[in-house]
Amino acid sequence: MIEIACEACGWLAVTSQPAHQVWAEHVAACPAVGGAVRHVPDLPPLPKLLPQVRTCAHRLVRRQIAVTAAGVKRYAVVCELCGRHVDRT
Ligand SMILES: [Zn+2]
Ligand SMILES: [Zn+2]
């Protein structure tokens, strides 16, 4: 048996059916404004990746990512060193 809970409306199900199936049924039926929010118990803490990012001085470059149908070029601002998108446009 597994427990499935919705944080948005307080719905709780204890079932032996496939969780994704039961949850999908609730998502369709959830009365909460903004939709169902699945409560996931004992979520492991997010890995701390920030120190690695902070060490990068970020050398920003503009990369062309697309050209629209109208011929307007679109750019993304990314860091040359670590490749992260730094959108400041
Ligand atoms: Zn709900
Ligand atoms: Zn960087």
| Distance from Cα 67 to the centre of ligand 2, integer Å | 25
DSSP helix/strand/coil, 88: coil
53 with 81, same domain: the answer is yes
Token output for 43? 């979520």
Q: Could you list the residue range(s) of the whole structural domain that residue 53 is in?
A: 47-89
Q: Quote the number of domains for the chain.
A: 2
Among 1, 13, 21, 16, smallest CA distance to 39 is for 13
Give percent of the chain with pLDDT exceeding 90.
Answer: 46
pLDDT number for residue 89: 45
pTM (2 decimals)?
A: 0.45
Q: State the ligand closest to the CA atom of 86.
A: 2
Give per-residue pLDDT as tens, 38-57: 987 665 676 666 555 567 88
Residues 52, 87, single domain; the answer is yes
pLDDT at residue 28 above 90?
A: yes
Find the 65 Cα to ligand 2 centroid distance in Å.
18
Q: Which ligand is nearest to the CA of 83?
A: 2
